[in-house]
């Protein structure tokens, strides 16, 4: 097992390193925005959260059930070349379960939806990811966790439109930035909540980057995450930072139904540790 003190941060995490993290200046109000004001009872009751990933193991004790889901996969015979199979499915790798469990831990009463876009077929990866996000938008999700991204610019306009569609529909798109230092999409767009890992371990504590495109830093270095067959792993990656922000957003939406992404971002920025 690695020594957590020596573990390496993923790319884009530099801004959150000790000694380098600079303070931000949140909006100052006559009364401070408190955690209780932002996320109420902290349960995220009834908030629909989609995990666009490798599937979710609904039986994992740290996931505690999944409300619904869909498998999105390439199919040459289907309209648009992509097939949607709604219903229960497995997590192929464990990664989606890890993300779902982090969200469940922060918003125990939210409704989790698994949108499986990762599978054995690698053709049309970006198109399948885009279709998964579209499914989430079409099915009334409030928060969408994207712990994956694409470096391909081929579908830039498609992702651009999806991010705009989410913003006007009050859907919070939470996007992990790439773990290697190269732009990836949709995390690069200002309309998403872009997240990288920082060394904190408290899931309710996070920081903001005064110099985006990466906006928020949340725990993602040597964090214990749920994995396949009811097990767990200690893992590092921006993938695990994003669902922390998604979970906190589920709380915020639960406490403030109809809140816009811009308003939610203001609340988050008021609660960061680096101010």
Min CB(245)–another protein separation in Å: 16
Min CB(180)–another protein separation in Å: 4
Residue 160 or 269: which CB sits closer to another protein?
A: 160
Report residue 116 as tokens: 């499986």
Min CB(233)–another protein separation in Å: 5
What Rg value do the Cα atoms of the chain yield, rounded?
A: 17
Residue 60 or 251: which CB sits closer to another protein?
A: 60
Min CB(239)–another protein separation in Å: 5
Distance CA 259, CA 223 (A): 30
Min CB(250)–another protein separation in Å: 22
Distance CA 226, CA 146 (A): 17
Residue 107 or 225: which CB sits closer to another protein?
A: 225
Footprint of another protein (CB under 8 A):
1-3, 6-11, 53-54, 92-95, 118-122, 125, 147-154, 176, 178-181, 184, 222, 227-239
Residue with tokens 């939210």: 110
Angle between helices 156-168 and 125-138 (to 10 degrees): 10
Distance CA 14, CA 117 (A): 29
Residue 57 or 215: which CB sits closer to another protein?
A: 57
Residue 110 or 174: which CB sits closer to another protein?
A: 174
Distance CA 12, CA 180 (A): 8
User: Is residue 212 within 8 Å of 48, Cβ to Cβ?
Assistant: no
Distance CA 103, CA 221 (A): 17
Q: Which helix (H) or strand (E) holds 53?
A: strand 48-53
Distance CA 261, CA 275 (A): 21
- SS3 of residue 141 by DSSP: coil
Residue 94 or 200: which CB sits closer to another protein?
A: 94
Min CB(97)–another protein separation in Å: 11
Angle at 51 between CA 113 and CA 146, to 5 degrees: 155
Residue 22 or 151: which CB sits closer to another protein?
A: 151
Min CB(184)–another protein separation in Å: 8
């Amino acid at each position: 097992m690695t020594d957590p003190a020596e573990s390496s941060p993923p790319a884009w995490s530099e801004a959150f390193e000790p000694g380098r993290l600079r303070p931000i200046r949140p909006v100052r109000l006559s009364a401070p925005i408190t955690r209780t004001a932002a996320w109420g009872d902290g349960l995220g009751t009834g908030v629909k959260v989609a995990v666009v990933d490798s599937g979710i193991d609904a039986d994992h004790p740290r996931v505690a059930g999944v409300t619904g889901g869909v498998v999105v996969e390439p199919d040459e015979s289907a309209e648009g070349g992509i097939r949607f199979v709604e219903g229960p499915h497995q997590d192929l790798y464990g990664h989606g379960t890890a993300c779902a469990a982090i969200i469940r831990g922060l918003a125990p009463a939210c409704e989790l939806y698994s949108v499986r876009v990762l599978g054995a077929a690698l053709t049309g990866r970006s198109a399948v990811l885009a279709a998964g996000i579209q499914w989430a938008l079409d099915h009334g999700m409030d928060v969408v966790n994207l712990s994956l991204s694409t470096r391909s610019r081929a579908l830039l306009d498609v992702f651009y439109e999806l991010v705009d569609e989410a913003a006007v529909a009050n859907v919070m798109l939470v996007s992990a930035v790439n773990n290697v230092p190269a732009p990836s999409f949709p995390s690069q767009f200002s309309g998403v909540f872009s997240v990288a890992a920082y060394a904190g371990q408290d899931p309710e504590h996070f920081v903001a980057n005064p110099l985006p495109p990466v906006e928020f830093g949340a725990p993602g270095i040597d964090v214990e995450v749920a994995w396949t067959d009811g097990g767990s792993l200690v893992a590092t990656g921006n993938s695990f930072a994003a669902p922390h922000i998604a979970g906190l957003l589920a709380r915020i939406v639960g406490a403030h139904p109809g809140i816009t992404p811009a308003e939610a971002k203001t609340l988050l920025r008021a609660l960061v540790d680096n101010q």
